Amino acid sequence: MSGSRIYMDWNATAPLLTEAREACLSALDLVGNPSSVHGEGRALRTLIENARRDVAALCGAKAASVIFTSGATEAANLVLTPDFRMGRTPLKIGRLYASAIEHPAVREGGRFSHDAVCEIPVTPAGIVDLQALRELLTAHDRQLGLPMVAVMLVNNETGIIQPIAEIAEIVRANGGILVVDAVQAAGRLPLAIEELGADFLILSSHKIGGPKGAGALVARGEVMMPAPLIRGGGQEKGHRSGTENSVAIAGFAAAARKVGEGVGQRMSMIAALRDKLENAMLAAAADVVIHGRDVSRVGNTTFFTLPGLKAETGQIAFDLEGVALSAGSACSSGKVGQSHVLTAMGYDPRQGALRISIGELTTAAEIERCAAAFAKVAARRRAPGRAA
């Protein structure tokens, strides 16, 4: 980490891994177009096909089922569409049922019209309400087309893990298609598309230590596929035209190889640091609310509310202490909006919450400095209920 600053915003973007950086640099010097038949072109084609195998291996999929995109947002817009094909036969999707805590990349509904998108509520614990999902799918009008369900595996704000295998059973029993945003799960949980029961997974390079500007839509099979979002020269078997971003794809694959190794061991070390930080936070401010602490979470995330401290004020206060964290998810304007995740969990979102997200480069010394910054910020806040 540079200088004396502490980077604790890994869920926004993970630092570029050395392996990914090296892979990007060597891909930059390859001159061909991967669609060209000459030796230069074939070298790029080999790079991309090897990368496809690496990304497939990260989620237990077949290489042929990986479609490279410019990121998770594009992958979501590719798959969230009423227009599918089953082989050569058109297949209509009638409605999208998306959980209330999805990232905007999914929540916006892709190519579905807004009135064809329906929200699946979550419980106060931040878990998709399975009974509500059953009821929504039972009431689904199949004459409109098949139901599509989108639920993320790990929430980017809270780190809460969703019961995807159970959700998949419900979706299957109702003849639906399941799309799982695995952006925050990749490299943090072992991923296996078959075991999850997902029909499609969405991945992003920059969340796993690869460069920004690459991602993938991973399908369970190859037969049922969405209509292309970008048409043109037919790259990616016609699913995503445009000359492949070989530099970003090479970095993405290098990151996928790296984070796919020893997930359990790496995450238990990270979780131990996170738990140490949470204990120090509770010792410094007994009234701190740590969202999702009682349910299954990934080990790198802490999402908390300090009564009497507004999220945007807290974010600046931590920044001044040299700690980069975020108030919920980063939005393009840099503004702190109210968290739709807290709202969905039934928590008053006005005060907001702060997110600390760490990774394998985080050190015990940084955790101590972050805990000290937290104690300072907590001590300085206006006492809850006291007038300004």
> Which residues are known catalytic residues?
331
- The amino acid sitting at 260 is G
Q: Going by DSSP bridges, is the β-strand pair 146-150/117-120 parallel, antiparallel, or unpaired?
A: unpaired
- 156 versus 313: smaller Cβ distance to ligand PLP: 156
Site for ligand PLP in 225-284 (CB under 6 A): none
Chain centroid, CA 166 distance in Å: 20
Closest approach, Cβ 112 to ligand PLP, in A, equals 17
Stretch that binds ligand PLP, among 68-76, 293-301, 308-316, 338-346 (CB under 6 A): 68-76
Q: Is 172 helix (H, G, I), strand (E, B) or coil?
A: helix
Closest approach, Cβ 210 to ligand PLP, in A, equals 10
**Which tokens belong to 258?**
């790296």
Q: Is 109 in the site for ligand PLP (CB under 6 A)?
A: no
**Which tokens belong to 63?**
């290489």
Site for ligand PLP in 135-164 (CB under 6 A): 152, 156
According to DSSP, residue 15 is labeled: P
- 45 versus 291: smaller Cβ distance to ligand PLP: 291
Question: How far is 359 from 188, CA to CA, in rounded Å?
Answer: 9
Of these, 9, 129, 181, 199, which contacts ligand PLP (CB under 6 A)? 181
Stretch that binds ligand PLP, among 65-73, 83-91, 284-292, 354-362 (CB under 6 A): 65-73
Beta bridge partners of 38: none
Stretch that binds ligand PLP, among 110-118, 179-187, 271-279, 348-356 (CB under 6 A): 179-187
Helices 311-320 and 364-380: angle between axes, nearest 10 degrees: 130
Residue that has been written with the tokens 């929200």 in this structure:
119
Residue that has been written with the tokens 């401010």 in this structure:
285
Of these, 34, 71, 211, 359, which contacts ligand PLP (CB under 6 A)? 71
Of these, 73, 158, 300, 351, which contacts ligand PLP (CB under 6 A)? 73
* Number of Cβ within a 10 Å radius of residue 350: 10
Number of H helices, E strands in the chain: 12, 14
Stretch that binds ligand PLP, among 47-55, 70-78, 232-240, 373-381 (CB under 6 A): 70-78
Helix (H) / strand (E) containing 280: helix 263-284
**Cβ-contact 140, 95 below 8 angstroms:** yes
Of these, 17, 98, 105, 122, which contacts ligand PLP (CB under 6 A)? 105
According to DSSP, residue 9 is labeled: B
- The amino acid sitting at 312 is E
Site for ligand PLP in 205-234 (CB under 6 A): 215
**Using CB atoms, what's the residue nearest to ligand PLP?**
71
Site for ligand PLP in 187-206 (CB under 6 A): 204
Of these, 45, 52, 103, 107, which contacts ligand PLP (CB under 6 A)? 103
Site residues (CB under 6 A) for ligand PLP?
A: 71-73, 103, 105, 152, 156, 181, 183-184, 204, 215, 329
